């Protein structure tokens, strides 16, 4: 409950849009350190020209980096997909079309995130140097 001017209490209904709004705020705050740590390590300390298959294999040999990369992938893509959903809701006014778009974006997010997570968990398979 919220109080306005100390006199009147307002009961705010918790629905899907409320949780989507909260997710955007929390994921945005979480993305700030995730992205800046990623940029600092990969672009500043290591350098983009030094990143190759060997570097990725070495990095993903540590489980913590795999969890970090999956978190970065899933939160960044979910944040962007939810932002796209919000923009589409400004232009699509028919409720049934909105529902189809919401489900379509959710399925799209799940598929892309699952493919990325499988790639990260699967790791790097180094090519045979003898070939």
pLDDT value for 93: 94
pTM for this prediction? 0.78
What's the pLDDT score for residue 1?
A: 56
Domain ranges of the chain: 13-122
Q: Is the dihedral of CA 61, 66, 67, 68 positive or negative?
A: positive
Residue 98 burial (10 A CB sphere; 0-12, 13-18, 19+) = middle
Query: What is the residue whose two structure tokens read 């990369």?
Result: 69
**8, containing H or E segment:** strand 8-10
CA dist 26 and 19 (Å) reads: 10
* Per-residue pLDDT of the chain in tens (131 residues, 90 and over written 9): 555 666 777 787 888 888 888 999 999 999 999 999 999 999 999 998 999 888 999 999 999 999 999 999 999 999 999 999 999 999 999 999 999 999 999 999 999 999 999 999 988 877 776 45
Look at residue 3 in the predicted model and tell me its pLDDT.
Answer: 58
- The residues pairing with 4 across neighbouring beta strands, listed in sequence order, are 8
- CA pair distance 63, 52, nearest whole angstrom: 19
CA distance 95 to 28: 27
Q: What is the CATH number of domain 13-122?
A: 1.20.1300.10
């Amino acid at each position: 409950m919220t109080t306005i001017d100390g006199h009147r209490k307002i009961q705010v209904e918790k629905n899907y849009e409320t949780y989507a709004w909260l997710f955007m705020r929390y994921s945005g705050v979480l993305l700030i350190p995730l992205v800046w740590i990623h940029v600092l390590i990969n672009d500043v300390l290591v350098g983009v020209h030094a990143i190759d298959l060997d570097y990725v294999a070495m990095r993903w040999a540590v489980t913590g980096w795999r969890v970090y990369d999956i978190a970065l992938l899933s939160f960044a893509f979910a944040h962007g997909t939810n932002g796209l959903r919000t923009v589409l809701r400004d232009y699509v006014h028919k409720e049934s079309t909105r529902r189809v778009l919401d489900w379509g974006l959710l399925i799209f997010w799940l598929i892309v995130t699952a493919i990325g997570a499988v790639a990260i968990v699967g790791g790097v398979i180094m090519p045979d140097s003898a070939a």
